[in-house]
Amino acid sequence: MDFITKLETISRKHNSLVCVGLDIDKEKMPPSLFKTCNDPYLEFNKALIDETMDLVCAYKLNMAFYEALGDVGYNLLKKTIEHIPKEVVIILDGKRNDIGNTAKKYAENLFEQLHADSITVNPYLGSDGVKPFLEYQDKCSFILCRTSNKSAGDFQDIESGGKPIYVHVAEKVKEWGKMGTCGVVVGATYPEELKVIRGLLGEDVPFLIPGIGKQGGDVKKTVGFGTNSRKELAIINSSRGIIYAGSGKDFAKKARDATILLNEEINKYR
């Protein structure tokens, strides 16, 4: 099954564009887990997945949080992925990038060994650094186009030929998108940019949209500008706002409640 079909199928089944970001962080996790569990991180992720898997279209795992754990991080990543139901989209968010022969090695790890459905890729190196990722059929590489952070504009807003760099990137994505394995990352914190990029890329390119919740992105505009005309193909991520909604023993239930609320808010505008 190709990526778009997988995404549409699960989004429709769960009536959801919500992606939960499993960004494990000891300082924010329920302290009780570290007293009672052998493997607190895995138990945390499993409990969150068990409580939310009927409510989401995707899970996103930011690799930085796993790598920060050192040698145990890789297996935690692997075991967490194994716990996610096959029908739900898995996004490995590593923002990888390198020259061709090296990018191929990253792709092997992310797609073949870790079995991600999709990943994030930084476009700064240009086409030949991106292509090794796009060559995987039935997978999707989300290219950083407009990021959600405050300094995003430092380079992404530099204008050339009447268009900022992020539009130049979007235009390349349009070209690469013909392979059918390419999406974009656009931050919810920049709704006007989101509108421009969806306008340019049309109906069939999936958008990964971080930045709502703690980062302050507006849900109404995110849905209005980020989805296609069927109000689909946008994956709206929330990490901290969901997984750290509670810090007591009922953290997973609190995360479920936060997911339901977010999904309802999103669907109000679809």
Q: How far apart are CA 181 and CA 135, in angstroms?
A: 8
Which CB atom, from 141 or from 227, has the smaller least distance to its own copies?
Answer: 141
Q: How far apart are CA 144 and CA 183, in angstroms?
A: 9
Q: What share of the chain is helix, strand, coil (3-state, %, to 5)?
A: 50, 15, 30
Tell the smallest beta-carbon distance from residue 163 to its own copies (Å).
9
Active site residues: 95
Tell the smallest beta-carbon distance from residue 207 to its own copies (Å).
17
Check: CB of residue 67 under 8 Å from CB of residue 76.
no
Binding site for its own copies (CB under 8 A): 23, 25, 62, 64-65, 67-68, 70-71, 73-75, 78, 95-100, 102-103, 105-106, 108-109, 113, 122-129, 144, 147-156, 158-160, 165, 168-169, 172
Tell the smallest beta-carbon distance from residue 142 to its own copies (Å).
14
Give 158's contacts (C-beta < 8 A, 6+ positions apart): 164, 165
Which CB atom, from 46 or from 79, has the smaller least distance to its own copies?
Answer: 79
Positions of E strands within 38-187:
58-62, 89-96, 118-121, 140-146, 159-160, 163-164, 182-186
Which CB atom, from 97 or from 181, has the smaller least distance to its own copies?
Answer: 97
Which CB atom, from 11 or from 237, has the smaller least distance to its own copies?
Answer: 237
Phi, psi at residue 122, to the nearest 5°? -90, 130
Query: Strand 163-164 vs strand 182-186: parallel, antiparallel, or unpaired?
Result: unpaired
Tell the smallest beta-carbon distance from residue 81 to its own copies (Å).
13
Tell the smallest beta-carbon distance from residue 144 to its own copies (Å).
6
Which CB atom, from 5 or from 149, has the smaller least distance to its own copies?
Answer: 149
Tokens of 74: 């890789």
Tokens of 20: 């939960």
Closest CA to 42 of 10, 20, 74: 74
